[in-house]
Structure 1
Amino acid sequence: MANREALRDLQSRLAGRLQAARSEGVTVAAWLAVQAGGRDYLLPLSQAGEIFPWTGVQPVPYTQPWFLGIANLRGTLAGVVDLAQMLGHGEGRSEQALAEASLLAFNPSLEVNAALLVDRLQGLRAADAFVHNEAAPPRSPTFFGPVHIDSAGRRWQELQLQRLSQTTKFLSIRA
């Protein structure tokens, strides 16, 4: 229960900061920063939806290991995808790790009833938070955007959720 309240507080603070930034003409964040499987990702805010605490997921038989099942997110059934496992660098999680994880729904405008399991929310990032950009690594998936590097040298891989939702791999959950 405390996790849900903390998550609601985070969402309220983020929404308040975005609204204040818009009204003051300040640079508005472009990405939601998350961590999955020990790696850092940037998800476009325009493609990200609501954030939920980990909730029970109903497993679906005969699906890919990265497809965790179906969850009821505010009355909407959504397929839950373990982002790290789908990208090939995740491992199974303990109940404690799952309790600390979050589900990030896709923006309703994408018309995809799905959510990504991420290990940790890292906050919002604007373009001015990065000192350098590089092209996506060679042979990376089509939904990989540029790599953004912050002043500490930390590398953030941008993921285009709209492109991800249209890939054959994402749409083919059958094992």
Structure 2
Amino acid sequence: MQAIAVITHDDFEAALAAAREVDTLTVGGGLAAPLGAGLGGRVDALWDRVEDALVQAYEWGKEKAQGALAEAIAETEDLLASVGRQASSVHQAMMKRVTEYLTKLIDRALATVRPAVSVGNRTLELVGVEIAQTVSLSGSLKASITDLVNLTASGQLVVHARYGPGAGG
């Protein structure tokens, strides 16, 4: 059964809050080094620009958010180009925020999918869900941010819910 998981205002606000809570100063490990306070503040300001695009997308739609999206992407590219060897850390910090936003948004939207459906005198329970949308979480911040804006603008997730007999048969 195809179902729509609606992204409510509360879901959207919870996703934004989850992304804001990411501690960009401690992001690091592997090749990336933790960000200092100055660079962490620049990442926070950059996320604010991304958040502006997300808010416009949620409230007004994809077309109205294009200007804010273009500005956020340009500022992302400028920051990455200006920080030299710390670009990997900046990239990792932004991806952490992107991931937190997306995870919270999807989790909250999926919670609206019905856990059971009644057909005649039978109740079928949810046995699986597949999400129809794709969001790029590749190395490209531009693609990831653009996909977040597009998903947010749509206001919904299309899911394929599979229902079957409950534990009782």
TM-score, scaled to structure 1: 0.24
User: Greater helix percent: which structure?
Assistant: 2
Larger radius of gyration: 2
**TM-score if structure 2 supplies the norm length?**
0.25
Q: Relative to total residues, which structure has the larger strand share, 1 or 2?
A: 1
